[in-house]
Chains A and B, each alone.
Chain A
Amino acid sequence: MSSEDIQETNTEAQFEFKKEEHSAFEAEKGLDEETIRVISEDKDEPEWMLERRLRALKLWQELPMPDWGPDLSEVEVDEIVPYIRPDIDVRGGVEEWEDLPEEIQDTFDKLGIPEAEKEALSGVGAQYESEIVYQNMQERWEDKGVIFCDMDKAVQEHEEIVREHFMTSAVPPSDNKFAALHGAIWSGGSFVYIPENTTVEMPVQAYFRMNSEGMGQFEHTLIIAEEGSEVHYIEGCSAPKYSEFNLHSGGVEVFVGENAHVQYSTVQNWSRSTYNLNTKRALVEREGTMEWVSGSMGSKVTMLYPSSVLKGPGATDNHITIAMAGEGQDIDTGAKVYHNAPRTSSSIESKSISKDGGRTNYRGLVHIADGAENSSTAVECDALMFDNESTSDTMPYMEINESKVDVAHEATVGKIGDEDVFYLQSRGLDDDDAKQMIVAGFIEPITEELPIEYAVELNRLIELEMEGSLG
């Protein structure tokens, strides 16, 4: 067995293991004002945060379920456990992996996080259930004023800046029903602050792990990149397989300052019992650049449409989206871009793969406001299907209210060709490997733009997904 094989085998085991549930505090199932108060009190939050939670709760109760997109009728929020504090006595996370309880340490070891930290990351945050349990960043960034900490800790220690940005202008709870739910019971997540003209060369990574059956994870990520700064934030997610459903409803807010550059990369490999309903939005100032890179492999249902509001002239958005749906999966992903200023540009590349009756859908919106002169957008979505049972849809909406703009849209849908598979087979590859090679080739234009470790990880996940059902 080559070393490459060994690695893959390890990865295969990586996501499926489950641990005994160990928790210090578990909220009652369901959601009411009392639950919110208990969570807020347990976190020792300032009054304004409790008020925001309660306002969001009210919106959750009032807002209708989305009447579009995947079927959410099985989402019974009253059946989930919204908050589980793992059984460790350190708030804000420990700084040494060794200080974590063995089972939790073991979980992240298997996911390869400590190893990645040593090799390629500026900082790591790891969330287990509802709380960040590990948080560390290299000292040299701290010295430059970079902040990378647990969101709960940020509420305490960087109160003013959080109060100004937290679910106010980027993702207000009124945005949609699940943003409201998130606002009511959010817990954990990362706070990232990059001071002016600071470039964090290596990525910072957060890893979110849901280990308990029937729980909900609602982490909140807030990234503020001041003028001329640069950062790459990576998020990974997984959960073991359970029969009872889990709900993940994360909120991400990114503030890209003038001339700043933020890349937000996420690979989710939630278990097939997870509903993954997120709201992610970036506000981009003059000449700033926001890049969203998303790989959606796992979950039962995913609804994910990272959006960028290009506020300042010359602001840029890039979206790269890869979605893969197998049996019983409905992966509804896309992008939203609002061109609200002149000379703004966006590019959206989406690749989706569906097989064994799975469904992928690209759902996108590009809005160019009146007066956003000389803006441009290019949207390209390609879908690859394995069989006639699988589905792939494309819904690229465009709202163009300005005439001096450049708009391009391309879409392709194809089925894996028997001729292609036969050609590779006739050269010695077996059926699975032939298909895998075609899929790897299909997403190659995207993976070649990614940082190498990330591209490798993504390819490995896709290989695993394919082995799972084809093997």
Chain B
Amino acid sequence: MVAGHPAYEVTGGSVTLELDGDEFEAAEADEWELLELEPNERAALGIFLGFQYPVEIEGVTMVNFLRTALNAKLDEREELFEEEESEDEPADATNEDAAGYDTAPMEGGEEGEVGVAEFQQILQEKMELLDMDESFASRYLNVGFSGGEKKQNEVLQAAILEPEITVLDEIDSGLDIDRLQDVADGINALRDKQGAGILQITHYQRILDYVEPDHVHVMLDGEIAKSGGPELAEQLEDEGYEFVREEAHAA
């Protein structure tokens, strides 16, 4: 829903994205009403959804897809911020700041595009980080990937697109222990090196041994029933969900 899946109808409420930090200084802590934006516009603003069951797309190689996505994101980003700029302020006042918006996560290729050679290098680095075999780059997007490989691929995409906020839906399901470690390393890098905010949805404590959460929220019957720090996750692992349910009912 946050990412904008067409099958979900939002009947009430709003989703607002606030962007601040140096990178967005010129945009003055812009607020974006996500529900009014197309999925690709949301992606450009830095929303990333890691799918639980990513689709397979025949004939599209990973490297082609990832480079296209990155360039599309950079391009759309520029457009979004320019639009905003002309709406809010007189054009001549913002011209100087315009360069400030062009905060590509990486050095751009020709004319703001990330070129093929440069992208190969970025991809290789990120794949090493996730301990993914080089051969992935030339395979078709998710086609014939094992469950674990698909999850790795989701994290790889996040690593390349460098989102502000990443939602990872059951990224740990179906992973064997080695793969879990790789995926966890990737998630930690997202948080620590790229400064992404991460919402991780999981049924298991296991991944939390590798990725220590800052906050833990327990969802029960569609609502947040209990919130806490990392210790809450440990308590859940020891005692199960029952005590949360009891507390909720008591209240």
Contact = CB atoms under 8 A, between A and B. Distances in A.
A418 B8 CA distance: 12
Interface residues of B, number: 34
Nearest to A444: B59
A442 B58 CA distance: 6
B40 A440 contact: no
Interface in B119-154: 140-141
Interface residues of A, number: 27
Given A419-B55, A422-B5, A427 B69 contact: yes
B3 A426 contact: yes
Interface of chain A, main secondary structure: helix
Nearest to A434: B40
Contacts of A443: 59
Given A2-B111, A430-B76, A437-B65, A425 B55 contact: no
Given A425-B43, A428-B69, A437-B65, A444 B60 contact: yes
Contacts of A434: 40
A429 B57 CA distance: 14
A433 B59 contact: no
Contacts of A1: 111
A49 interface: no
A5 to B, nearest CB: 9
B3 to A, nearest CB: 5
Contacts of A433: 68, 72
A350 to B, nearest CB: 15
B49 interface: yes
B38 A425 contact: yes
B4 A426 contact: yes
A438 interface: yes
B43 A438 contact: no
A414 to B, nearest CB: 10
A238 B31 CA distance: 50
B51 interface: yes
Given A1-B111, A424-B57, A445-B59, A418 B72 contact: no
A437 B60 contact: yes
Nearest to B74: A428
B39 interface: yes
Nearest to B113: A2
Interface in A1-35: 1-3
B6 interface: yes
Contacts of B65: 424, 427, 437
A1 B75 CA distance: 12
Contacts of B76: 428, 430
A69 interface: no
Nearest to A4: B113
A425 B51 contact: no
A3 to B, nearest CB: 8
Contact of A429 (B49, B68, B157): B68
B44 interface: yes
A420 interface: yes
B55 A428 contact: no
A2 B109 CA distance: 10
B153 to A, nearest CB: 11
B10 interface: no
Contacts of B3: 422, 426
Contacts, number: 87
Contacts of A438: 57, 60
A417 interface: yes
Given A1-B111, A2-B111, A418-B6, A428 B70 contact: yes
A259 to B, nearest CB: 34
Nearest to A382: B58
Interface string A429-458: 111011001101111110000000000000
A397 interface: no
Interface in B82-122: 110-111, 113
Contacts of B57: 420, 423-424, 437-438, 441
Contact of B72 (A420, A429, A442, A445): A429
Contacts of B60: 437-438, 440-441, 444
Contacts of A420: 55, 57
Interface in B140-186: 140-141, 157, 161
Interface in A142-158: none
A428 B59 contact: no
A429 B70 CA distance: 9
B36 to A, nearest CB: 15
A286 B161 CA distance: 56
B240 interface: no
A434 B6 CA distance: 14
A370 B141 CA distance: 45
B43 A427 contact: yes
Nearest to A430: B40
A425 B39 contact: yes
Contacts of B251: none
A434 to B, nearest CB: 8
* Residue of B7, B39, B58, B140 with most partner-chain A CB within 10 A: B39
A423 B54 contact: yes
A430 B59 contact: no
A442 B4 CA distance: 25
A423 B7 contact: no
Nearest to B53: A419
Contacts of A445: 59
A418 B6 CA distance: 8
Contacts of B4: 422, 425-426
Top-9 shortest CB links A-B? A441-B59, A444-B59, A428-B73, A441-B60, A425-B39, A427-B69, A428-B72, A428-B43, A428-B69
24 contacts: A2-B111, A417-B55, A420-B55, A422-B5, A422-B39, A423-B51, A425-B4, A425-B38, A425-B39, A427-B65, A427-B157, A428-B44, A428-B69, A428-B72, A428-B73, A429-B40, A429-B68, A429-B69, A429-B72, A430-B40, A431-B40, A433-B68, A441-B58, A444-B59
